[in-house]
């Protein structure tokens, strides 16, 4: 059996006395498309942020691509050195709800920033690569535009190109369409689908249930800091086992 790309055991996260994640276990194989769904405040975004270490897990194990990022050992919580964490982060960039493009840099400059400064790639190579990626997301002609001149959907596609430019092993999406006008959502979903089709490993936090149903290999239902149910989309959406999930599905179908 192959080792999974990402392995998470008993991950907990507290903010002060508030425990947001109460012990999450999850494994992701290479090429797998994982969807995290559930009510707001259930902890799914915090969980995604813990994977990328934007939030430091309070305890639990995160093993990414064979590299231990943090682990409970001998009664303590081991954290990998900064440098290793940074290296791993570049392999699993995140696409954010509010795009978070660098406002003072053009679309192209946004995309080449990390490849040049983090991965030390040659500038002209990085530009060539970035223009190809901008082309793939349909924005080749907007390369010299600043974020302020792009629509929400265009910004999000630049953000996706920025993540792809790292040649990552995994991309995290944190509600990538929640800040978009309804008519722009389809374009972003289409872009994400094409990534999945190419075999990219994806973890997607979303409220787009129809999309999750079509694209997911596995859906995890988060509620109150735990994963209440996991399974293939058909099972999750058509045959929920817990009351909480069936209630959730009813409420979003209404």
Please identify, using beta-carbon distances, which residue of 52 and 223 lies nearer to other proteins.
Answer: 52
Q: Which is nearer to other proteins, 15 or 117 (CB)?
A: 117
Give the Cα separation of 9 and 190 in Å (integer).
Answer: 32
Find the binder of other proteins among 14, 100, 178, 230 (CB under 8 A).
Answer: 100
DSSP secondary structure letters along 28-49: E-TT-EEEEE--TTSSHHHHHH
Binding window for other proteins (CB under 8 A); candidates: 56-64, 86-94, 198-206, 228-236? 86-94
**204 or 236: CB nearest other proteins:** 204
Assess 94 for contact with other proteins (CB under 8 A).
yes
Q: Where are the alpha helices (DSSP H) in the chain?
A: 44-51, 82-90, 107-117, 123-136, 152-164, 182-197, 209-215, 233-238, 243-253
Could you tell me the CA-to-CA distances from 158 to 54, 101, 136, 204 in Å, in that order? 21, 8, 10, 17
CB of 84 to other proteins, least distance (A): 11
Q: Which two tokens stand for residue 238?
A: 């058509």
Report the residue from 30, 131, 179, 186 that binds other proteins according to the rule CB under 8 A.
131
Binding-site member from 148, 183, 198, 253 for other proteins (CB under 8 A): 148
User: DSSP character for 168?
Assistant: -
Footprint of other proteins (CB under 8 A)? 52, 54, 82, 86-91, 93-94, 96, 98-104, 106, 108-109, 113-114, 117-118, 123, 127, 131, 143-146, 148-149, 159, 162-163, 166, 172
């Amino acid at each position: 059996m192959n080792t999974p790309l990402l392995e998470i055991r008993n991950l907990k996260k507290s903010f002060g006395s508030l425990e947001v994640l109460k012990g999450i276990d999850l494994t992701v194989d290479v090429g797998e498309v994982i969807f995290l769904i559930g009510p707001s405040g259930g902890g799914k975004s915090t969980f995604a942020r813990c994977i990328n270490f934007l939030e430091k897990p309070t305890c639990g194990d995160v093993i990414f691509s064979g590299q231990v990022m943090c682990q409970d050992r001998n009664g303590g919580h081991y954290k990998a050195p900064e440098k290793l964490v940074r290296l791993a982060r570049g392999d699993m960039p995140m696409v954010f709800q509010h795009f978070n493009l660098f406002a003072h840099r053009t679309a192209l400059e946004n995309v080449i920033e990390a490849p040049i400064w983090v991965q030390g790639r040659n500038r002209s190579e990085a530009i060539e690569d970035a223009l190809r990626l901008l082309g793939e997301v349909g924005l080749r002609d907007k390369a010299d535009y600043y974020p302020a001149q792009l629509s929400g959907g265009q910004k999000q596609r630049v953000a996706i190109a920025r993540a792809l430019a790292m040649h990552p092993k995994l991309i995290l999406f944190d509600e990538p369409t929640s800040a978009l006008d309804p008519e722009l959502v389809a374009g972003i979903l289409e872009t994400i689908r094409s990534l999945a089709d190419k075999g990219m490993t994806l973890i997607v936090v979303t409220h787009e249930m129809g999309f999750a149903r079509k694209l997911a290999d596995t859906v995890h239902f988060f509620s109150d800091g735990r994963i209440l149910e996991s399974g293939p989309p058909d099972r999750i959406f058509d045959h929920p086992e817990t009351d909480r999930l069936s209630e959730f599905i009813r409420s979003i179908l209404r």
